[in-house]
Structure 1
Amino acid sequence: MTTDGDTAPLDAADAMRLIREQRASTARRLEPDPRVHYWPWGFAWLIGFGIYFLRFSPDGRTLVAMPAWLPLTLLFVLLAAAAAVFGVGSARAYRHVAGESARRGSWYGASWGLGFLSLSLILGRVTDSLPHDLAGLLWSALSVALTGALHMAGGAIWLDRTLFRLGVWLTAVNIVGVLAGPGWHALVVSVAGGGGMLVAGALARQRHG
C-alpha cells in the first residue's frame, strides 16, 4: 500500500517537470525562431557575394559575363530583402515584450542603421579616387568588419555565445579575405561568411528546441 509520504516526492518531481516545460514553452513563444536572425543574411551573403566574385574575379578576370552594375545591385536587393524578413520576424516575436529588453533591442537595431549610414557616407567620399577593385574591397571589407563587431556587441549584451562567436568568425573571415586580396575577398565572405551564418542559425535552432 502506498502512503501519502511515498507519493509526495513523485508529485513534487512531476510539478517541477511541468514548471520547466511551461517555462520552455513560454520562452519558445516569446523568442523568435533563431533562423530568422541568421538565415536571411546567410543566404544574402552566400548568393550576393558569390555573384560578385563571378563577375569581379581576381586579377580583373570575369568568370561569368554580366553587366558590371548587376552584382552590386543584386547584393543590395538581397540585403534589403534579408533586412525585411528579419524586421518582420523580430517585430512579430517581440510585439509583447516591453521594458529593458525592448529598449536594448531598439537601441541595438538603431546602432546597425546609424553605423551603416555613417559607413556609407564616409566611403562614398573616399572611394571615387581608388581603382575599382580596391574600392570594392574597401566597401565590402569595412561592411563585414562592422557586421562582425556588431554581432560581438550583441552577443555581449544578451550573453549569447552563438552571436558572439559568429562575430568573431566573421571578423576572422574578413581578415583572411582582405589578405587574399580583391576578388578573393568576395569568395571567402560568400562561402565562409554566408555559410557561417547558416550554420549558426542551425545550431541556435537546435538549442532553441
Structure 2
Amino acid sequence: MDDDVPLGNPAESLALIERERANLERDITPDPRWMLWPWGIAWLVGFALFFLRYGPDGRVFVDLPDWLPLLVLMTLILAAGVTTGVMGARAGRQVSGPTSRQGLLYGVTWSAAITAFAVLFARISDVLPEPESGLLWAGGMVAVTGVLHMAGGALWNDRDLYFLGAWTLLADVVGILIGPGWHSLIVCVAGGGGMIVAGLIGWLRLR
C-alpha cells in the first residue's frame, strides 16, 4: 500500500522538517523592514533637523523654527510606534503561550522605561544649560533604545537585534563624548542608518 512507502532517508526527513520550520518562522515573524525602517527614518530625519538647527558650539546651519526639529522627531516617532505596534499585533495573533506573553511584557517594558526616564529628565533638565539639557534627553533616550534592543536580542536569541542594540549604544556614547550637535549627527547617521541596514539584513535572512 502507498501508506507503507517510507518517507525517505533520515537526511531527507530532516531537510523537510527544516524547510517547514523555516516556512513557519517566516509566517509568524514580522517583516523586519516594517519593524525597524520607520524608526530608522524617524531618527534620520529628526536628528538631521536637530543637527542643522542646533549644530556644534551653537552653530545654526539652517535657520529653522526652534520648535520644528522636536515636532518632526516626535511625529515620526509616534508614527513609527503605531506602525510597529500594528505589525507586532498582527504577528502576535498567530502565537500563543509563553512567547506571546514575552512579547507583551517586552512591549510594556519599553513603555515603562521611556516613561521613567522622561520623568527623571524633566525633573533635572531645567538646571542644565540648553545644549546639555538637549544632550541629556537625546542621549538618554537613545541609550534606553540600545539597552532594550540588546535585552530583546538576548530574550529571543536574536543576534542581529542584540548587535543593533550594541551598535546603537556605541554611537550614543561616542556622540555624548564629542558633545552637543555632533551627537545629533552621529545618531542620525549611525543610529538611524543602522536600523535601516538591520531591517534590510533581517528581511534578506527571512527570505
TM-score, scaled relative to structure 1: 0.92
- In the TM superposition, residue 34 of structure 1 has moved relative to its aligned partner by 1.5
- Match for 2:40: what amino acid? G
**Residues 9 and 160 from structure 1, CA distance in 2 versus in 1: closer, same or farther, beyond 3 angstroms?**
same
Matches of 1:60 and 1:13 in 2, distance apart?
65
Matches of 1:172 and 1:201 in 2, distance apart?
19
2:96 to 79, 83, 98: 98
Matches of 2:157 and 2:19 in 1, distance apart?
23
- Structure 1 segments of 4+ aligned residues over 6 angstroms from their partners: none
- Residue in 2 aligned with 1:161? 159
- Residue in 1 aligned with 2:148? 150
Matches of 1:160 and 1:24 in 2, distance apart?
15
- Match for 2:203: what amino acid? R
Matches of 2:136 and 2:11 in 1, distance apart?
59
TM-align CA RMSD: 1.7
The percentage of counterpart residues that share the same residue type is 47
- Match for 2:39: what amino acid? W
Matches of 2:180 and 2:18 in 1, distance apart?
52
Matches of 2:90 and 2:15 in 1, distance apart?
29
List runs of 5+ in structure 1 lacking aligned partners.
1-6
Matched, 1:32 2:46: no
Q: Deviations over 1:134-156 (max 9, x none)?
A: 10001000111111111111111
- Match for 1:87: what amino acid? G
2:206 to 198, 203, 208: 208
- In the TM superposition, residue 22 of structure 1 has moved relative to its aligned partner by 2.5
- In the TM superposition, residue 19 of structure 1 has moved relative to its aligned partner by 3.5
**The residue matched to 1:204 in structure 2 has which SS?**
helix
- Residue in 1 aligned with 2:74? 76
Matches of 2:85 and 2:7 in 1, distance apart?
47
Q: Which moved more, 1:93-102 or 1:21-30?
A: 21-30
Q: Deviations over 1:12-67 (max 9, x none)?
A: 65554443323222221111111122111111111110111111011111111111
Judge conservation of contact 2:7–2:13 (CA < 8 Å) in 1. no
- Residue in 1 aligned with 2:113? 115
**The residue matched to 2:95 in structure 1 has which SS?**
coil
Within-5 A mapping of 1:171-186: 171-186=169-184
Q: Deviations over 1:155-186 (max 9, x none)?
A: 11111100111111011101110111000000
- Residue in 2 aligned with 1:43? 41
- In the TM superposition, residue 129 of structure 1 has moved relative to its aligned partner by 1.7
Aligned length, in residue pairs:
203
List runs of 5+ in structure 2 lacking aligned partners.
none
- In the TM superposition, residue 95 of structure 1 has moved relative to its aligned partner by 0.9
- Residue in 1 aligned with 2:187? 189
Matches of 1:28 and 1:117 in 2, distance apart?
33
- Residue in 1 aligned with 2:84? 86
**The residue matched to 1:66 in structure 2 has which SS?**
coil
Matches of 2:192 and 2:43 in 1, distance apart?
5
Within-5 A mapping of 1:55-70: 55-70=53-68
TM-score, scaled relative to structure 2: 0.93
